[in-house]
Amino acid sequence: MSLPTPRGPLTANRPLADLTWLRVGGPADWLFQPADLDDLTGFLQALDPAQPVFPMGVGSNLIVRDGGLHAVVIRLGRGFNSIAIEGDRVIAGAAALDAQVARRAAEAGLDLTFLRTIPGSIGGAVRMNAGCYGAYVADHCVEVAAVNRAGERVRLTQGELGFAYRHSALPADWIVTSATFTAARAEPAALEAKMAEQLARRDASQPVKERSAGSTFRNPAGYSSTGKADDSQELKAWALIDRAGLRGARRGGAQMSEKHPNFLINTGGASAADLEGLGEEVRKRVFQHTGLLLEWEIMRVGEAAPSSGLTSENNSTV
C-alpha cells in the first residue's frame, strides 16, 4: 500500500520497543511523527481509509506484542507539546507530559497536581481517563481537540468524551491533539509541597526504578458511573494478587513486582509474550482463588509472535 508523503518523518518497519516503558515488542509497519496539525490532517485525508492507524503517546501503558503492529503508528512530538494558561484554564498539547503540565499549572497557581506522578502524555491521559490520588482527567478536562480518521478536526466536550474508570469513549483511531483543563486556584508553594508529598508516596509504594507500565489490572469494583473510585468499597487488584500468592511471580524476564504486586515489570530480557503470558497466568490463578476475573488496564496491541501461544485479541485495538 503506498502512503502519502508528509512533512514530518514517516519511517517504515520502525521498532517500537524503545518507545515504550516496558521496552518490548516488534516493529510498526510505519511510524509517522507529524510536523504540525496541518501535516497530521493532510496525511490522514490522503491515507487509504483501509489503512489502520494507531495513536501512541509515550508508551507508559502499552505492551506492543513481539510480532509488531500492522498499522501506521502516529506519535506526536514537538509540534504538539505547548502548554498555555488562560485564566483558570490550562490548554495542553497532546504530546506534553502530564508531569510538565502539572508543574506549569502549579507555577500559575492552578491545581492539576494529580498529573504530577503519571508518567504519560496528555493524549494518553485523555484516552485512559488517567487519575491519581483521588482525581481524574474527567474531573478537570472540559474540552478536547482531536483529528478523526478522515483527517477532520473535531472538538469534543466533557460530556461527549464518555469518561469512566480508566476509559474514554474516544474512537481508538482518533488522535487527540490538545486538551483544556479547568483547575482550582491555590498558592504555588502549597501546590509544590503537595506534589513533593505525592512523589514521595509514589516512590515508597511503586517500583519506580523498574521498567513497568503502571498498574497491570484495573481494581475490580467500587467505582461510580462518573469514573470516580470509591475507596471504601474498592477491591484492590494488588491485594487479590498478593492473596493468591503471586507477589514476585516470574515468567522469563517478566515479574509481578515484589514492591507492588499489581506492577508487571521487565527485569531485563523479557519478551512481550513473557509479560502478557505472566499477566494471563495471574488472571487465571486469581480467578481460581477468588472467583474474580481481573481486567487488564495495560493496553496490549499488535500481533503475537507465532511461537508464543498467545492470541492477538483481548483489548487489542489494532
Name which position in 128, 244, 256, 265 contacts ligand FAD (CB under 6 A): 128
| Candidates 65, 75, 251, 297; catalytic one | 297
Q: Is 175 in the site for ligand FAD (CB under 6 A)?
A: yes
String of DSSP letters for 208-245: TTSEEEEESB---B-B-TTS-B-TTTPBPHHHHHHHTT
Mark out the alpha helices in 150-221 (DSSP H runs): 188-205
Shortest CB 202 distance to ligand FAD, Å: 7
CA 155 to chain centre: 21
Name which position in 124, 227, 261, 277 contacts ligand FAD (CB under 6 A): 124
Residues of this chain, 232-291, that bind ligand FAD according to CB under 6 A: none
Nearest in space to 117 (alpha carbons), one of 125, 107, 108: 125
Q: Is 180 in the site for ligand FAD (CB under 6 A)?
A: no
Q: Is 6 in the site for ligand FAD (CB under 6 A)?
A: no
In a 10 Å sphere around its CB, with 0-12 CB exposed, 13-18 middle and 19+ buried, how is residue 117 labelled? buried
Q: Show the binding pattern over residues 37-76: x = contacts ligand FAD (CB under 6 A), - = does not.
A: -----------------xxxxxxxxx-------------x
Cβ atoms of residues 71 and 88 within 8 Å:
no
Residues of this chain, 188-217, that bind ligand FAD according to CB under 6 A: 206, 208, 212-214
Q: Is 125 in the site for ligand FAD (CB under 6 A)?
A: yes
As given in the structure block, the three cell numbers for residue 152 are 477532520
CA 76 to chain centre: 14
Q: Is 123 in the site for ligand FAD (CB under 6 A)?
A: yes
How many of the chain's residues bind ligand FAD (CB under 6 A)?
Answer: 33
Give catalytic status of residue 281 as yes or no: no
| Candidates 121, 168, 215, 257; catalytic one | 215
Name which position in 176, 229, 275, 304 contacts ligand FAD (CB under 6 A): 176
As given in the structure block, the three cell numbers for residue 279 are 499477566
Quick one: DSSP state of residue 3?
Answer: -
Q: How far apart, in whole angstroms, are the C-alpha atoms of residue 34 and residue 37?
A: 7
Residue type, 211: R
Q: Is 127 in the site for ligand FAD (CB under 6 A)?
A: yes
Give catalytic status of residue 243 as yes or no: no
Give catalytic status of residue 160 as yes or no: no
Q: How far apart, in whole angstroms, are the C-alpha atoms of residue 310 and residue 110?
A: 46
Q: Applying CB under 6 A, which residues contact ligand FAD? A: 21, 54-62, 76, 94, 117-121, 123-125, 127-128, 130-132, 175-176, 206, 208, 212-214, 299
